[in-house]
Chain A
């Protein structure tokens, strides 16, 4: 039963953030980091400055950071909920709702052996990097993991033309005809540009070769918009994410979850937005994050640029709190 005064709002937010710093943000935390970050806000008179600091501290107190441990757990969820359970469901369905555990496990093992997991993007990017943890967490053999160029095999073949002349050319085909499904795994999907651009051709080629091959795109985090964009392509059999980021996660949207209840009258959505715009425009374009996503999201290995730039940017000597390692 709490029957005593709250701390003043500034200290209350600070205190909450300290607790995060000592616990769930532990692997990103450095002593003094919040004070340093607050020193970025210097463009106003003291009365306004305090209000700006209170508002950005409030946003910081709502920041969702997923550390190493949490990410590994999410990868396990991806495997279990998006990959394994649907397969088990269909095994049971096709076998009179069998509850025979040994049988189900055997059948699942067969399906697993005919599945291959792939990362999305360049080998130096996070999608590929995550596969290592994914394999560890899900205790999978490395034979289930391949690169893009392992999907197809290219051979030199010859054809005989009408005149009897022989013409050599290169032909690609699915390398392992026994494979039933490919699963592309990514950490984050904001606008869906990875899938709509980079993956599109590969998936089209797979389907061209064999339209029955299942190709799925699973992500740890994805905006509702991003998921819809990828689904619109109608290339993948399943597009899904462990953690779907709906419109309510867009910090300053009409449906923002962060401003339904605020703990103090000084915390205002419009004021917060203006503060983020004011400082954000010196840091990134668009000033509220890539695709104007306005997210409060950081991951252990990187912070998406869809997150508000005041949290991650390093330009113009800005001191970030959840630094982003940009792609060059």
Chain B
């Protein structure tokens, strides 16, 4: 199968789109009625913007959308219209293109590097500006004498302008600047051998900012049609710069001079400083506006859903267009959604029944094992032998029609009652109560099972899937994909891309009439996307190692809570902490995990029942939760005590984690939950 052609979702990164595709696939995210990404960025104002977000949140797509090539597409190449109506020109540059990491070491003094980088940076950006302006001017029928005058004025921005001999044309000036850059490139390239930068080759010819602000200023002065036009310098991939380079860029932003302003795109973890070269911090709101894309999108689930729908509909429409088919959006949506095989719990249960034909279910074997262990440690109340266990299991099977899920419900209540029972209680009584309650439930009367079934069904299905080594298809359907992507457009598109790929490989012909995407293909795509997110988290070095360890500890803890005999909370994927109790190290790793979108902080927090205090609340990113078969719905949250939270997040306390996890395992599982030290804890069954 040729995925490039047959998969409308094959491109998942905006950098891989052509300008035309950026325009065609553009969807404005409407945060509120009259507020959107466009109005938030607002190209009509001079306030600089820092567009911050995790990988794949759509930054590049947004920034490129405002660049000059896209303005041309939107304005059908009518440059006058751009200048008169848009009143701005977007100059898009990728900071990664500077290969900023070259500007260090090689036996060269740091201050030389600072100076040469600042100089080079301006030459690099001005090259881009001039190339765009040249294109604009050539379409405006500007008299040659004006161009010559403009170039002359720009040349006068250089200290040694009297020595500069260039053709007074844009080409001449661009060529001159390119030459200066090339000389620096060559010096840097060879610095590892020469251990120095030749002064004559890298001599700085203007003061910082003089060119980057000077050129637009001269253009506006000389050419009337630019009078009210803003020069928006759009820089992407800020995170690729060193800290000192970021400070230099911040300084330019801080010192900005009309008609120039800046929009800067940064990964969340890369937006590390607001400082300028003078050490002062830029003030948010008055000196710049940070726009946190992740937060904006995640806060508006409904709008994100609409946005995501529009994203895939655009791609599908385009795909069918290439097949010469025009389908209206509603029909397109309905057809596409119908391709996703829906989650079917009954099918899953039937599968488990068939797989265990004539054999004892694992959950019954486990129960037997737990009771036998209990006998050994005198924790199984009045049960003393295997025959008693066999009859107990018969009682559990009673009325369940061999349905494993129904048996799970009964076993759960049995565990609850076993845990709570006093020493003289008998299993006969416990089973009697279980069966009475169960019968009431069958008859539709109020019983303990109502709440158990309402609250715990998903968890027990997940347990059954794990015990029987089959996929838990709870992560299925387009709505679930939108939910799982948690506001991240690339994750969402990737889920669709992989679904189409897997379904194609499996012969489900997903893009053909009558084709489908099976639950298995959906599951594999969810798992693969989660794996991509996990493995591509860009966590490196010691911090990376410790962060992954923290994530492992956290998910081990969550897994223990979900896959145990008597889960306390239901569908747990959130936790809350008392932040003031935690060490700086633990909090710093929580922050790192937030920066990399591994954890999502819920700004509303969690109001603690007893103290009524608002505590910090976090969720494991839904995109990666399927790697551990953890839930994606936000329902249950657990409190992590100082001791536990430190062992999870503070690398100095990681070695305590295993024993704390074992303690928790004992609390949650039979028969050890009967041990006195756990049985006295009143919080185990409170929700």
- A→B interface (CB under 8 Å): 1, 3-5, 7-11, 14-15, 18, 21-22, 30-36, 45-47, 50, 264, 266
A201 to chain B, nearest CB (A): 50
Say yes or no for B504: interface residue by CB 8 A criterion. yes
| Chain B at the A interface: SS class | helix
B494 to chain A, nearest CB (A): 16
- Docked Cα-Cα span, A47 to B524, in Å, equals 23
| Chain A positions within 8 Å of B470 at CB level | 8, 10
Chain B, residues 500-518, CB within 8 Å of chain A (1/0): the string is 0010111111000000000
Say yes or no for B680: interface residue by CB 8 A criterion. no
Total contacts A-B at CB 8 Å: 68
Say yes or no for B415: interface residue by CB 8 A criterion. no
Check A1–B507 contact: CB distance below 8 A: no
Check B552–A3 contact: CB distance below 8 A: yes
- Docked Cα-Cα span, A23 to B527, in Å, equals 20
From the candidates A4, A46, A266, name the one contacting B354 in the complex (CB within 8 A).
A46
Check B356–A9 contact: CB distance below 8 A: no
Check B548–A3 contact: CB distance below 8 A: yes
From the candidates B504, B508, B548, B628, name the one contacting A5 in the complex (CB within 8 A).
B628
In B451-483, the 8 Å CB interface with A consists of 465, 469-471
Check A45–B357 contact: CB distance below 8 A: yes
Check B359–A3 contact: CB distance below 8 A: no
| Chain B positions within 8 Å of A31 at CB level | 1, 504-507, 509
B247 to chain A, nearest CB (A): 33
- Docked Cα-Cα span, A31 to B511, in Å, equals 13
Given A3-B552, A46-B355, A47-B354: A11 in contact with B505 (beta carbons within 8 A): no
Check A35–B507 contact: CB distance below 8 A: yes
A7 to chain B, nearest CB (A): 6
20 contacts between A and B (CB under 8 A): A3-B555, A7-B471, A7-B527, A8-B469, A9-B469, A10-B469, A11-B520, A11-B527, A18-B502, A22-B505, A31-B506, A31-B507, A35-B506, A45-B357, A46-B355, A47-B355, A47-B356, A47-B358, A50-B355, A266-B469
Check B506–A8 contact: CB distance below 8 A: no
Q: Nearest A residue to B559 by beta-carbon distance?
A: A5
| Chain B positions within 8 Å of A21 at CB level | 505
B125 to chain A, nearest CB (A): 39
In this complex, how many residues of chain B approach chain A with their Cβ under 8 Å: the count is 34
| Chain A positions within 8 Å of B356 at CB level | 47
From the candidates A4, A9, A30, A46, name the one contacting B534 in the complex (CB within 8 A).
A4
| Chain B positions within 8 Å of A45 at CB level | 354, 357
Say yes or no for B523: interface residue by CB 8 A criterion. yes
- Docked Cα-Cα span, A223 to B620, in Å, equals 53
Say yes or no for B488: interface residue by CB 8 A criterion. no
Q: Nearest A residue to B552 by beta-carbon distance?
A: A3
Q: Nearest A residue to B353 by beta-carbon distance?
A: A46
Q: Nearest A residue to B355 by beta-carbon distance?
A: A47
Given A3-B551, A4-B628: A11 in contact with B507 (beta carbons within 8 A): no
Check A18–B505 contact: CB distance below 8 A: yes
Say yes or no for B627: interface residue by CB 8 A criterion. yes
Say yes or no for B245: interface residue by CB 8 A criterion. no
| Chain B positions within 8 Å of A46 at CB level | 351, 354-355, 357
Check A4–B357 contact: CB distance below 8 A: no
Q: A11-B523, A31-B504, A32-B505 are in contact. List 15 more A-B contacts (CB 8 A).
A: A1-B548, A8-B469, A8-B471, A9-B469, A10-B469, A11-B520, A18-B502, A18-B505, A22-B505, A31-B506, A32-B507, A33-B507, A46-B355, A46-B357, A47-B358
Say yes or no for B570: interface residue by CB 8 A criterion. no
Say yes or no for B629: interface residue by CB 8 A criterion. yes
B17 to chain A, nearest CB (A): 24
- Docked Cα-Cα span, A15 to B504, in Å, equals 13
B109 to chain A, nearest CB (A): 39
The 3 A-B pairs with the shortest beta carbon distances in the complex, nearest first, are A32-B507, A46-B354, A4-B627
